[in-house]
Amino acid sequence: MSVDELLASINTMIIWLTGCTAGLGMALVKEFTGLGHTVVGCGRNEIALQKLRNTFPDNHFIAADVSIDESVREFCDQALLATGEPDLLINNAATINVPAPLWEVPAEEFDTLTSTNINGVANILRHTLPSMIANKKGIIVNFSSGWGRSTSPDVAPYCASKWAIEGLTKSLAQDLPKGLAAVSLNPGVIATEMLRTCYGLDADNYQNPEAWAITAAPFLLKLNVSQNGQALTAP
């Protein structure tokens, strides 16, 4: 089977993805589009967004700050006009604190982290779920972390935010009507810039986002409603 025939045989999906301009998000864009799916991504880095628009012209990359509800509303309005509601919604956007004991983390840094990692997910869900519910289908993946199920010193704000995502997702799963599902996903330990914040050069001992996405993208595409409420880990 040729590549074109293979792509034609795929049941293509509309995928909305936050945090598409770097790390895991950018790596997933490449894999999803390569498999013939349509991606609507958002991020704050306009230079990176324009590069994505140039590289993947049949997809949609929109500037948005997930921590700001009005910005998310505008993103979702534009995304709905472009593609309709998503089949797969991935909340990936996140940040991490500069490693330090909790009492040394400035209030502004803590608030910025939680407004992105927690409020940002809630904002996206607030403006996306009504259309998904009306369509009676869709899978929601909220990216968690190994630090959403365990803890380490110096990253208390990040751990708190990802533990919150685990609880939010399980509760959301109980609210969803038939046909929809929400799961939390621990992507594993990946050599991203966020990991380098904590691990330094040792981060490069782990697989890079591009290698991770090769197996993670098919895994995400196969998620189904029977998994609603589960706490999953990427292969």
What residues are labeled active site?
Answer: 158
Q: Which amino acid is at 60?
A: H
Structure tokens at 79: 């995304």
CA–CA separation, 87 and 140 (whole Å): 9
Question: DSSP for 107-152?
Answer: HHHHHHHHIIIIIHHHHHHHHHHHHHHHHT-EEEEEE--GGGSS--
- Give the closest residue to 87 by CA, choosing from 165, 35, 11, 145: 11
Query: What is the CA 161 to chain-centroid distance, rounded?
Result: 14
